[in-house]
């Protein structure tokens, strides 16, 4: 054995069965298996299936890491067995205890990576595995399982992985905890003589592991003589190229590039050992893999979340009796419009393309104006410079740049070379941005000084490129390798042509959602889908080369050049849309002779509130606007009416969309005026190329698997269009839930054609007799009372008709099925602190609501999400109301 390990670790010992009573471990699944003169302990449901006469689809081979054992896989083995016994898809699951680990034989032989991969092959030979085999590995068992996989292409049907790694970048060190354990004089004491390494691992549960579960993991490692394998495993970590196991690790890593089977990665981002950088590497080797990052989970992801259900679901989708190829999308000519076509068509024009307004307080600054000719030149030059700096096609590039000229140039340069831009705006806050950037794991970051400073302080990944030239000391402090001016200079001197552009189905962008209904999700768009977004905008609102676009809503500011429109972003704090003023909008409109203005509801509210500051010249600038749009959250009629007074010659519209589908329906102010004031928020008819369906709500508040168009039926809103996003980034389970029922509906005959991808929006609503869509709230905010399902928007609308109520939220308190409706409201005049409404106001609210109301609470301000500043945080309010009704303190929600 390794000389750095204590002598006690070198003693051989026979294999044995685990003791009875370990939590979740069925003794009937435990057996000893001889293989190549060694004896293994395994969990194996094969004999159970055989006894019941059940023929399995295939075998899942589970390989644990260090210092765990087959106990790690207990829920998966039991879950697979129960599924088969209930008549579902049957899988034989074999979870091994590696030699010198768990309850397998202690061999007193130094086992390196090559030998361990060979050991596993000896075991599978002894078990005489045939048919489909799917490997499933965790920690260093992941590498070993992958070694078996690449060596058995005739048996391999799929790969599943929990947190692991197969490649260690030469530019970075192995994780600090492992470096510490490998330290001279530390290895034996930390791993064998004491249970320190084992106990440190068991402390990584999120939430903390139950005591009986910890005892289960400790069971095979009581005493130094039983922990030799733990120390030997740590000693075998190939921490450098000179390590004896490094050539084998490299062999497996390289061979994995040629493997083409379905793959699944279930990941815990809080892992201090196998961070997201290792996930990024694995995805690059298995690019077809389905990936799901469980926010909040860590190294022991198998304990932190229900990984077994996720894995069994994936196996069913890929190999089960119901498995089938995805329905083909309806042919749609998204490739006919390139995101760069408008820019290329106008590159000889000296007309204005993009304008950046000076920041408030900068009285001497003039607007920054870039022509189409200059924009095209700078995009090409930067594209060449980025290629020279190592930015390759398919690389992820995080853009931490405020809207304006620099962001536009950086965005289109990345698109030109086929890099994938990652856009997560600062409105997510530091925590949200960190989660987004780490989740996407970009290879490069282009940032302004605030973004680069945050990236350095918070350890965000990627090569750092600054927007402006920085002093040498600042560059070093921030880890900046290049600047945009430097790269454009390099590109200007490069006479070589740029490589061919990306294809329509190549990924173009990852846009992060607002995070208003949970952690922000990365929404992946292809080039063709973004081109389809532009086409839908152009057809719906006649946006094109003659359009002057004021974009107070960041996503559409970036699409201006792709639409051929001259565009300007008004002066505002992008982290807070409500900072946008009427004078800033008017100044921006005047600068480009604006014909279209697009603002978020929060920005619009402050524009209206500050309209008294407009001078006659600014008022006149707003009179030239022909189309006004506000989207991102519901917009009330009074706010639209007030905006229409500022832009009296504009047709006012409030489109409905989301990050997953940026434009889905449209309704005009004139239509809204003619509609009832309650019943939900009417968002109009489908935009060009969009289909709308409803998945009806069940009595428990869930939505159906079937979609329909029946008038007046309330349910989850389901949409389909060529410009609906491709998938969520590394959130396979979330994306699967969003497409639930879509396969069946896509195959339903519609004039002999299948449809584009379908997406469950998470919004609830109904269609009226004229095909208009009415939004009634979010699916998670549906209130399931004893008397039936209540959607929140209509009661809120009715309550907001009460004279003293300025804004209201209807939320749930209590358990599902017997939930009570609680109204939480802002009043006019306002209240200084949260309180129960007085008797008179409560009576008015109850009379107006249209549903039974258990309590009426008043607050100084309803909480809203961090990005839009307009969407009420009903989830937070529901928890607060539940606490108040249970006797909790009336503190601010």
* Angle value at C-alpha 738, between 865 and 284, nearest 5 degrees: 95
Three-class DSSP category at 568: strand
Residue 146 scores a pLDDT above 90: yes
Q: For tokens 């067995």, what's the residue?
A: 81
What's the rounded Cα separation, in Å, for the pair 278 and 153?
A: 24
Per-residue 3-state assignment (H helix, E strand, C coil) for 831-870? CCCCEECCHHHHHHHHHHHCCCCCEEEECCCCCECCCCCC
What whole-number percentage of the chain has pLDDT above 70?
91
Q: For tokens 């937070």, what's the residue?
A: 876
Mean pLDDT value across the chain = 89
- Better pLDDT: 174 or 424: 424
Q: How confident is the model at residue 182 (pLDDT cuts 50, 70, 90)?
A: low
The whole-number pLDDT of residue 600 equals: 83
Compute the average pLDDT of residues 268-294.
94
The whole-number pLDDT of residue 546 equals: 86
The whole-number pLDDT of residue 176 equals: 62
Pick the CATH number of 338-356+369-526 from 3.30.56.10, 3.90.1150.10, 3.40.50.980, 3.90.79.10: 3.40.50.980
Q: Furthest-apart CA pair in the chain: how many Å?
A: 94
Compute the average pLDDT of residues 114-134.
96
The whole-number pLDDT of residue 749 equals: 42
Distances (CA, A) of 386 to 178, 453, 490: 35, 21, 9
Strands annotated E in 271-338: 290-293
- Better pLDDT: 4 or 447: 447
How many alpha carbons fall within 13 Å on the CB side of residue 623? 7
Nearest in space to 452 (alpha carbons), one of 468, 439, 441, 436:
468
Q: For tokens 């990345």, what's the residue?
A: 414
The whole-number pLDDT of residue 402 equals: 86
CATH for the stretch 679-779 = 2.30.38.10
Which residues are bridge partners to 759 per DSSP?
719
Q: For tokens 């070589």, what's the residue?
A: 496
Distances (CA, A) of 198 to 163, 274, 853: 17, 17, 54
What's the rounded Cα separation, in Å, for the pair 235 and 213?
A: 27
User: Residue 807 phi/psi, 5° resolution?
Assistant: -155, 145
Kindly report the pTM of this predicted structure. Answer: 0.89
**507-512/522-526 β-pairing:** antiparallel
Residue 748 scores a pLDDT above 60: no
The whole-number pLDDT of residue 849 equals: 94
Token pair recorded at residue 664: 């889905």
Is there a contact between 255 and 150 (Cβ–Cβ < 8 Å)?
yes
- CATH fold match for the domains 679-779 and 782-885: no
Report which secondary-structure segment, H or E, holds 775: strand 773-778
Compute the average pLDDT of residues 711-715.
95
Token pair recorded at residue 683: 């968002």
Based on C-alpha coordinates, what's the Rg of the chain?
30
The whole-number pLDDT of residue 78 equals: 97
Q: Which residues of 153-189 are buried (b: 16+ CB within 10 A; e: fewer)?
A: eebbbbbbbbbbbbbbeeeeebbebbeebbeeebbbe
Q: How confident is the model at residue 92 (pLDDT cuts 50, 70, 90)?
A: very high
What's the rounded Cα separation, in Å, for the pair 192 and 195?
A: 6
Is there a contact between 456 and 437 (Cβ–Cβ < 8 Å)?
no
Token pair recorded at residue 586: 């008017």
Say whether domain 7-172+239-319 belongs to CATH 3.40.50.1820: yes
The whole-number pLDDT of residue 330 equals: 45
Interval 243-252: pLDDT, tens: 899 999 999 9
Going from N- to C-terminal start, the domains of the chain cover: 7-172+239-319, 338-356+369-526, 679-779, 782-885
Is there a contact between 799 and 848 (Cβ–Cβ < 8 Å)?
yes
The whole-number pLDDT of residue 578 equals: 72
Query: What single DSSP character describes residue 716?
Result: E
How many alpha carbons fall within 13 Å on the CB side of residue 434? 13
Three-class DSSP category at 55: coil
Q: How confident is the model at residue 333 (pLDDT cuts 50, 70, 90)?
A: very low
Residue 764 scores a pLDDT above 90: yes
Say whether domain 782-885 belongs to CATH 3.30.300.30: yes
Residue 353 scores a pLDDT above 70: yes
Q: How far apart are the first and last CA of the chain?
A: 60
Residue 562 scores a pLDDT above 60: yes
Residue 335 scores a pLDDT above 50: no
Compute the average pLDDT of residues 357-363.
75
What sign does the CA torsion over 794, 799, 802, 807 have? negative
Compute the average pLDDT of residues 208-233.
95
Nearest in space to 843 (alpha carbons), one of 810, 799, 784:
799
Distances (CA, A) of 237 to 106, 135, 149, 255, 268: 20, 21, 20, 19, 21
DSSP letters along 357-425, please?
PPPTT-TT---EEEEHHHHHHHHHHHHHHHHHTT--TT-EEEEE--TTHHHHHHHHHHHHHT-EEEE--
Residue 428 scores a pLDDT above 80: no
Residue 814 scores a pLDDT above 50: yes
Q: How confident is the model at residue 329 (pLDDT cuts 50, 70, 90)?
A: very low
Residue 747 scores a pLDDT above 80: no
Interval 833-876: pLDDT, tens: 999 999 999 999 999 999 999 999 999 999 876 444 457 888 89
Residue 337 scores a pLDDT above 50: no
Is there a contact between 752 and 336 (Cβ–Cβ < 8 Å)?
no
Nearest in space to 689 (alpha carbons), one of 765, 772, 756:
756
Compute the average pLDDT of residues 384-394.
96
The whole-number pLDDT of residue 6 equals: 58
What sign does the CA torsion over 66, 67, 73, 75 have? negative
Residue 360 scores a pLDDT above 80: no
Which residues are bridge partners to 373 per DSSP?
none
């Amino acid at each position: 054995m390794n000389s750095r390990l204590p002598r006690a670790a070198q003693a051989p010992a026979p294999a044995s069965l685990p003791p009875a009573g370990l939590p979740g471990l069925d003794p009937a699944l435990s057996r000893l298996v001889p293989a190549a003169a060694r004896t293994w302990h395994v969990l194996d449901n094969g004999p159970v299936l055989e006894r019941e006469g059940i023929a399995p689809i295939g075998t899942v081979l589970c390989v644990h890491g260090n210092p765990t054992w087959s106990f790690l896989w207990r829920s998966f083995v039991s879950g697979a067995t129960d599924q088969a016994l209930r008549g579902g898809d049957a899988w034989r699951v074999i979870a091994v205890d590696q030699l010198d680990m768990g309850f397998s034989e202690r061999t007193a032989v130094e086992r390196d990576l090559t030998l361990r991969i060979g050991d596993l092959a000896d075991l599978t030979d002894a078990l005489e595995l045939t048919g489909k085999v799917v490997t499933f590995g965790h920690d260093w068992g992941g590498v070993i399982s992958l070694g078996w996989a690449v060596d058995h292409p005739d048996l391999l049907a799929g790969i599943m992985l929990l947190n692991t790694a197969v490649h260690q970048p030469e530019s970075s060190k192995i994780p600090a905890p492992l470096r510490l354990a490998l330290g001279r004089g530390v290895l034996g004491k930390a791993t064998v003589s004491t249970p320190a390494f084992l106990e440190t691992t068991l402390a990584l549960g999120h939430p903390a592991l139950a005591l009986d579960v910890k005892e289960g993991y400790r069971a095979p490692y009581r005493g130094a003589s039983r922990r030799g394998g733990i120390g030997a495993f740590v000693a075998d970590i190939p921490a450098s190229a000179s390590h004896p196991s490094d050539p084998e690790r490299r062999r497996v890593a390289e061979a994995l590039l040629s493997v083409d089977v379905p793959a699944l990665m279930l990941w815990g981002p809080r892992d201090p050992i196998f961070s997201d950088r290792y996930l990024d590497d694995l995805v690059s080797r298995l690019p077809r893999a389905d990936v799901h990052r469980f926010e909040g989970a860590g190294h022991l992801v198998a304990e932190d979340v229900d990984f077994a259900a996720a894995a069994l679901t994936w196996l069913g989708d890929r190999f089960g009796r119901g498995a089938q190829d995805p329905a083909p999308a309806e042919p749609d000519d998204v490739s006919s419009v390139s995101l760069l076509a408008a820019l290329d068509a106008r590159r000889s024009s000296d007309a204005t393309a993009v304008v950046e307004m000076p920041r408030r307080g900068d009285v001497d600054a003039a607007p920054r104006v870039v022509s189409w000719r200059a924009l095209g030149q700078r995009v090409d030059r930067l594209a060449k410079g980025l290629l020279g700096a190592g930015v390759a096609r398919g690389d992820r590039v995080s853009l931490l740049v405020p809207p304006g000229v620099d962001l536009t140039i950086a965005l289109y340069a990345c698109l030109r070379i086929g890099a994938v831009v990652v856009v997560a705006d600062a409105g997510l806050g530091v925590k949200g941005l960190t989660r987004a950037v780490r989740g996407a794991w970009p290879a490069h970051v282009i940032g302004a000084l605030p973004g680069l400073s945050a990236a350095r302080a918070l350890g965000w990944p990627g090569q750092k490129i600054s927007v402006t030239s920085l002093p040498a000391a600042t560059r070093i402090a921030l880890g900046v390798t290049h600047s945009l001016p430097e790269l454009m200079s390099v590109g200007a001197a490069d006479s070589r042509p740029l490589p061919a552009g990306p294809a329509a189905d190549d990924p173009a962008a990852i846009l992060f959602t607002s995070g208003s209904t949970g952690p922000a999700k990365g929404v992946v768009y292809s080039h063709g889908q973004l081109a389809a977004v532009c086409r839908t905008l152009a057809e719906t609102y006649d946006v094109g080369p003659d359009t002057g676009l004021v974009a107070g809503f960041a996503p559409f500011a970036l699409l201006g050049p792709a639409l051929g429109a001259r565009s300007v972003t008004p002066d505002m704090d992008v982290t807070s849309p409500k900072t946008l003023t009427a004078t800033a909008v008017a100044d921006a409109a005047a600068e480009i002779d604006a014909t279209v203005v697009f603002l978020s509801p929060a920005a619009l509210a402050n524009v209206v509130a500050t309209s008294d500051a407009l001078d006659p010249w600014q008022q006149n600038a707003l009179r030239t606007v022909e189309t006004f749009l506000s989207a991102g959250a519901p917009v009330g009629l009074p706010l639209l009416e007030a905006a229409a007074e500022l832009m009296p010659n504009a047709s006012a519209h409030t489109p409905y969309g989301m990050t997953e589908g940026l434009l889905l329906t449209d309704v005009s102010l004139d239509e809204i005026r003619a509609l009832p004031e309650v019943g939900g928020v009417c968002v109009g008819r489908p935009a060009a190329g969009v289909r709308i369906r409803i998945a009806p709500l069940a009595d428990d508040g869930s939505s159906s698997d079937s979609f329909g168009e029946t008038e007046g039926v309330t349910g989850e809103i389901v949409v389909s269009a060529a410009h609906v996003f491709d998938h969520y980034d590394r959130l396979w389970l979330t994306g699967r839930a969003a497409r639930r029922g879509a396969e069946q509906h896509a195959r339903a005959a519609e004039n002999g054609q299948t449809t584009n991808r379908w997406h469950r929006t998470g919004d609830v609503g109904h269609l009226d007799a004229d095909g208009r869509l009415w939004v009634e709230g979010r699916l998670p905010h549906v209130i399931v009372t004893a008397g039936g399902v209540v959607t929140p928007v209509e009661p809120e609308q009715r309550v907001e008709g009460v004279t003293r109520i300025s804004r209201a939220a209807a939320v749930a308190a209590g358990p599902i099925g017997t939930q009570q409706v609680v109204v939480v409201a802002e009043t006019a005049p306002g209240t200084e602190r949260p309180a129960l409404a007085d008797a008179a106001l409560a009576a008015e609210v109850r009379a107006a609501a249209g549903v039974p109301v258990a309590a009426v609470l008043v607050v100084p301000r309803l909480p809203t999400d961090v990005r839009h500043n307009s969407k009420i945080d009903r989830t937070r309010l529901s928890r607060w109301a539940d606490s108040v009704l249970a006797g909790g303190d009336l503190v601010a929600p």
